[in-house]
Amino acid sequence: MNTALHESVSLANSPCTGRCTTSMAPFDERCKGCGRDVDEIRDWETYSDYDKKIINIKNWLEGYNIRQRQDKIKFMSVNPTNEKLKDIQGKLITIQALIEMVGQEIIETYGKDPSIEDSYKSLFNSREKVLQAKQSLPHLD
């Protein structure tokens, strides 16, 4: 695992920030720190790295302060260069493409099987969040 003391350099690592709101009264259904729900926290170690990354990307895009986000913010410049913005935009395009490819594979593999409807909806929602993130970035000069 690629981790350093108090840092997380992989999106597959736990996003926990140590301020869980699902374990303290009034027991939130979704942690206000990392954004995971009770089941995702409980079952985290049973998920594949791919599933962990999708959960973390979704929660990051929804504005949750996952540990990976905190580590990135520490190292980001306040005034990013055009090169950095191009890099970020390229990564968002890559994420969008991967989500679309997985969605297409799900359709090709399962068709309109109702048992995978939630998976497909989650992918669609993640894609929408990526598109929102792309539009909210500063424009390149």
- Which pLDDT band, with edges at 50, 70 and 90, does 18 fall under? confident
- Per the listing, tokens 């895009």 go with 61
22 vs 50 pLDDT, higher one: 50
- Which among 11, 21, 19 is positioned nearest to 60, based on CA atoms? 11
- Name every residue whose Cβ is closer than 8 Å to that of residue 25 and which is 6 or more positions away in sequence: none
The predicted pLDDT at position 76 comes to 47
The predicted pLDDT at position 80 comes to 58
**pLDDT tens-digit series, residues 32-73:** 888 898 899 899 999 999 899 889 888 888 888 888 776 554
100 alpha carbon, distance to own chain's centre: 15
- Per the listing, tokens 């090169």 go with 83
**pLDDT tens-digit series, residues 64-107:** 888 877 655 454 444 557 777 888 888 888 888 888 888 888 88
pLDDT at 14 over 90: no
- Helix (H) / strand (E) containing 3: strand 3-4
Q: How far apart are CA 86 and CA 139, in angstroms?
A: 10
pTM for the structure as a whole: 0.48
- Helix (H) / strand (E) containing 86: helix 82-110
Q: How far apart are CA 139 and CA 141, in angstroms?
A: 6
